[in-house]
Amino acid sequence: MENKLDSGSIALFIGLLFLVALQLFWATPGVPPIAYSDFRRLLDAHEIDNLVISPTRITGELRSEQAKAALPASDAAALGGGPPPYTFSTIRVADDSLPVRLAAAGVRYSGTLDSNWAGSLLGWLAPLLLFMIVWQFMMRRGGGTRDFMGIGRSRAHVYVQRETGATFNDIAGIDEAKKELQQIVSFLCHPERYRRLGGKIPKGILIVGAPGTGKTLLAKALAGEAGVPFFSISGSSFVEMFVGVGAARVRDLFEQAQRQAPCIVFIDELDALGKVRGASPISGNDEREQTLNQLLVELDGFEANAGVILLAATNRPETLDPALLRPGRFDRHIAIDRPDLVGRRQILAVHTRKVPLAPDVDLEELAARTPGCVGADLANIVNEAALHAAEADRSSVAMADFDEAIDRALAGSERKSRVMNALEKLTIAYHEAGHALVAQSRAHCDPVKKVSIIPRGVAALGYTQQVPTEDRYVLRRSELLDRLDALLGGRVSEELVFGDASTGAENDLERATAMAWHMVARYGMSERIGLANCADDGVAHALGGAEGPRHGEHTAQCIDDEVRRLLNEAHERVARTLDDRREALDRIAKCLLDREVLEHDELVALIAGEPVQGDGAEARVREDTSGEGQSRRVERAA
């Protein structure tokens, strides 16, 4: 973290250095010093006169050239040239015989007090200045405030149109949300059009959506389009370690906003501030609740026609307090869903505006291959493709670069340096071949786009990529069963070929179990459980009550039994499919060992028994699963 000192801190630091230098300057004597032993010797020789004695120092004059010559060469040179007398000084030593010696030598002397006001002043000011510098540094580390008196001030940043750098033209794939916010822009620019009919603009607008869907970008675009002052602050910035600071900052924020109306106040991550109150009797946060109460009061305290519009964003609306969401506070809720096929195509077009694309790049195909990706994911894919093309020193970004970027985003970077023995590689090839063959054999499964046995990421030793032909929002029971079969294809393939199972199906089993559980407990797709929704999703907890299970132990046991039944039935179906199409399974596995990656057309040809360039289908892997057969397979794979 970078900590930058402002001009006041720099001035204090320079002043401290100046005082230290001043003290060092005054502490250095202006009169050449000599040793005390030389002083006593010259005093006994009657070569000293006109002494001034202080508690710490003695200053006087040497009477003759002979006295100067009796001193060491360095001390004599420090006294300078010219005629006598020569002024000198020495550090006073505790010597009770000094007055007697002065009287015997007949020396004229006088006393004085030490006057080092600069040192005394520095002794008081230096710790004070050092404390002030450390205080300002700690305040910046803790909260970024300029001084303690300003700790209750709002830290919202004010932006105007030219500073946000975003407009509605920079947003794609969320046309409905843009249309709703365009009404806000119209009200801010032409308020009389709505007021003449008694219309009131909503006081608060809540933008809800998954991370990366463009909530913050939408708020910046609204400020850029409206051209009005835009206050931006995070919900976590209100709550600090000091009691009452959050409420004071809320008051200060709305006071600033009303002075600059019409304006927009944007609170990002509202769930950090507006969580439901009293959710847990033992883990309350009074300071956060006081801040939320002050926000509720401020929302009720200003009129909609005042021109202050509160805009907030969150990806956890279920945790917000119901009092915050009622009409009159956040009147309008804008939900931003993950983009569909058309939306992903539009988002890719926005992010590739400044990217030189090769003629073979098809944004429609890229949009189809990225189901479930949000705007942030697509922006990352475009950036990764551009970096991959730049690394290859190409003048434009080709489709192969996007292929690599999608694979990297979905499965991680290639790990070709990971060394596997021949049996492990053969096991992975059969595992992925089982996934691909079962997926292609089911009518309701998405078609397989690519099969690879190249390790990627941290744990993926291979992957089978399926691309949906269209966006789906409702799935039937038959479709879920087909997808369940595809998930178990890898595990059943290993059992069929090797007579044993490996740990490579861990993620497949986890996803298959979750899918079967949802079918039974959520979707009512089990005759034994019936139409009851038995999922413990924490609805009671979100409403302020105690969270608990919706069913008893007997129902829980029935759910577990039904989940096992669905998985066992899927296992039997997949085993029959792979046993009936064993030759196709062997061809796919052998081709994966030879080529490591198979595209859709090559996979379809192998399943149909058609030759594929570089396939080597004549040397198929034998069906024999005995130890001798496994040894021959390992030798052939190596």
Tens of pLDDT along 266-281?
A: 888 888 888 887 654 4
In this structure, what token pair is assigned to residue 563?
A: 């989940």
Residues of the chain above pLDDT 70, percent: 76
What confidence category does residue 104 fall into, taking pLDDT thresholds of 50, 70 and 90?
A: confident
pLDDT for 509 equals 93
pLDDT for 203 equals 78
pLDDT for 57 equals 84
From 269, 298, 432, 495, active-site residue:
432
Residues of the chain above pLDDT 90, percent: 20
What confidence category does residue 9 fall into, taking pLDDT thresholds of 50, 70 and 90?
A: low
What confidence category does residue 185 fall into, taking pLDDT thresholds of 50, 70 and 90?
A: confident
State the Cα–Cα distance between residues 184 and 167, nearest whole angstrom: 14
Q: What would the 3-class secondary structure string for 288-307 be?
A: HHHHHHHHHHHHHHCCHHHC
Q: Which are the contacts of 179, defined by CB distance < 8 A and separation ≥ 6?
A: none
Residue 611: Cβ within 10 Å count? 12
pLDDT for 161 equals 47
In this structure, what token pair is assigned to residue 245?
A: 């600071």
pLDDT for 189 equals 77
* Sheet containing 263-268, strands listed edge to edge, beginning at the edge strand earlier in sequence: 157-159, 230-234, 263-268, 308-314, 204-209, 332-336
What are the pLDDT digits (tens) for 45-86?
A: 888 888 888 888 888 888 888 888 888 887 777 777 778 888
Tell me if 308 sits within 8 A of 302, measured CB to CB.
Answer: yes
Q: Is the peptide bond between 202 and the residue preceding it cis, with omega within 30 degrees of 0?
A: no
State the Cα–Cα distance between residues 584 and 620, nearest whole angstrom: 10
pLDDT for 170 equals 78
pLDDT for 274 equals 80
Q: How far is CA 578 from CA 438, 491, 581, in A?
A: 7, 11, 5
What are the pLDDT digits (tens) for 328-348?
A: 788 888 888 888 888 889 999
Q: How would you class 551 by CB atoms within 10 Å of its CB: exposed for 0-12, middle for 13-18, buried for 19 or more?
A: middle
Identity of residue 92: R
pLDDT for 412 equals 73
pLDDT for 357 equals 92
Residue 193: Cβ within 10 Å count? 11
pLDDT at 14 over 50: yes
Q: Of the candidates 399, 484, 462, 441, which has an alpha carbon nearest to the alpha carbon of residue 589?
A: 462
pLDDT for 489 equals 94
pLDDT at 559 over 50: yes
What confidence category does residue 428 fall into, taking pLDDT thresholds of 50, 70 and 90?
A: very high
pLDDT at 590 over 80: yes
| Strand pairing report for 57-62 and 48-53 | antiparallel
The CATH number of 31-111 is 3.30.720.210
Mean pLDDT to the nearest integer, 360-389: 89
pLDDT at 627 over 60: no
State the Cα–Cα distance between residues 263 and 467, nearest whole angstrom: 45
79-88, 279-288, 525-534: which has the highest mean pLDDT?
Answer: 525-534
Mean pLDDT to the nearest integer, 412-438: 84
Query: What letter does residue 330 receive in the DSSP assignment?
Result: S
Output the average pLDDT for the chain: 78
Residue 531: Cβ within 10 Å count? 8
Q: What would the 3-class secondary structure string for 480-529 be?
A: HHHHHHHHHHHHHHHHHHHCCCCHHHHHHHHHHHHHHHHHHHCCCCECCC
Residue whose token pair is 């600069």? 118
pLDDT for 441 equals 92
Assess whether 432 carries a catalytic annotation: yes
Q: How far is CA 570 from CA 388, 566, 574, in A?
A: 41, 6, 6
What confidence category does residue 625 fall into, taking pLDDT thresholds of 50, 70 and 90?
A: very low
Q: Which residue has the higher pLDDT, 437 or 253?
A: 437
State the Cα–Cα distance between residues 285 and 528, nearest whole angstrom: 45
Q: How far is CA 442 from CA 64, 486, 487, 577, 582, in A?
A: 120, 8, 12, 10, 16
110-119, 163-172, 187-196, 561-570: which has the highest mean pLDDT?
Answer: 561-570
Start-to-end Cα distance in the chain: 52
Q: Of the candidates 273, 593, 211, 194, which has an alpha carbon nearest to the alpha carbon of residue 425?
A: 593
Partners of 206 in the β-ladder: 312, 333
Q: Which residue has the higher pLDDT, 2 or 488?
A: 488
Determine whether domain 157-336 maps to CATH 3.40.50.300.
yes
What are the pLDDT digits (tens) for 467-491?
A: 887 777 889 999 999 999 999 999 9
Mean pLDDT to the nearest integer, 166-173: 79
pLDDT at 548 over 80: no
pLDDT at 44 over 80: yes
State the Cα–Cα distance between residues 481 and 574, nearest whole angstrom: 11
pLDDT at 616 over 50: no
Give residue limits of the domains in the chain: 31-111, 157-336, 341-411, 422-637
pLDDT at 541 over 70: no
The CATH number of 422-637 is 1.20.58.760
State the Cα–Cα distance between residues 608 and 605, nearest whole angstrom: 5
pLDDT at 382 over 90: yes
Q: Of the candidates 621, 618, 407, which has an alpha carbon nearest to the alpha carbon of residue 493?
A: 621
Mean pLDDT to the nearest integer, 303-317: 77
Query: What letter does residue 211 receive in the DSSP assignment?
Result: T
Mean pLDDT to the nearest integer, 353-360: 90
Segment among 131-135, 492-496, 551-555 with least mean pLDDT: 131-135
Tell me if 325 sits within 8 A of 206, measured CB to CB.
Answer: yes
State the Cα–Cα distance between residues 122 and 571, nearest whole angstrom: 85
Q: Which are the contacts of 391, defined by CB distance < 8 A and separation ≥ 6?
A: none
What confidence category does residue 410 fall into, taking pLDDT thresholds of 50, 70 and 90?
A: confident
What confidence category does residue 586 fall into, taking pLDDT thresholds of 50, 70 and 90?
A: very high
Architecture (CATH level 2) of domain 341-411: Orthogonal Bundle (1.10)
The vertex-634 CA angle with 629 and 638, nearest 5°, equals 150
Q: Which residue has the higher pLDDT, 459 or 60?
A: 60
Mean pLDDT to the nearest integer, 3-19: 60
State the Cα–Cα distance between residues 161 and 167, nearest whole angstrom: 9
pLDDT at 380 over 70: yes
State the Cα–Cα distance between residues 395 and 340, nearest whole angstrom: 31
pLDDT at 112 over 60: yes
pLDDT for 87 equals 85
What confidence category does residue 628 fall into, taking pLDDT thresholds of 50, 70 and 90?
A: very low
